[in-house]
Amino acid sequence: MRHVELEAVVPAEQVSTVFDAVMRWEKYPDLAPHVNSTTVHATLPEAECSSSWELHFRSGLLRWTEDDVFLPEEGEIRFEQSDGDFDSFTGTWALTQAGDDVAVRFDADFDFGIPSLEGILDPIAERVIKETVAWSLTGLFPGTRIAGGIELSEPAAVGA
């Protein structure tokens, strides 16, 4: 099991505004170069929400479908893979008001279920997931500050 986390601060915004923007998965292919496509099957106000994702990964695509739980009153989005390339993939987005800013925390755990390849696949998948979240937040809110020394530059090779 590999853990991915990312923290960011979106300046001068309200949680509800950031939440509404973050949950728009259909925008992510235009925001993050690793995202090949997203398909939103159902979203709020539906009770059962889901989406499908394709990310550029190594020399191919990493695909999964997830069940999404949107809790706007709590500033939280939870997801869990229902089908796809991971053996398991779960996580949360947590948004909290921090004065005039919004603190964003993304946490995810994934496992490909291939112990012999985890040393090769896991670090690449972790980087792709982190960068996708960082690209998306900075694309939605250009003033966003990403913690943890993630350097986003124009991608030379999207398939990396």
Distance from C-alpha of 3 to C-alpha of 6, rounded to nearest angstrom: 10
CA-nearest of 28, 47, 31 to 39 is: 28
Average pLDDT over residues 135-145: 95
Looking at every residue in the chain, the average pLDDT score rounds to 92
Residue 153: its pLDDT value, please?
Answer: 67
The pTM of the full predicted model, rounded to 2 decimals, is 0.92
Split at pLDDT 50, 70, 90, the class of 149 is confident
Residue 156: its pLDDT value, please?
Answer: 39
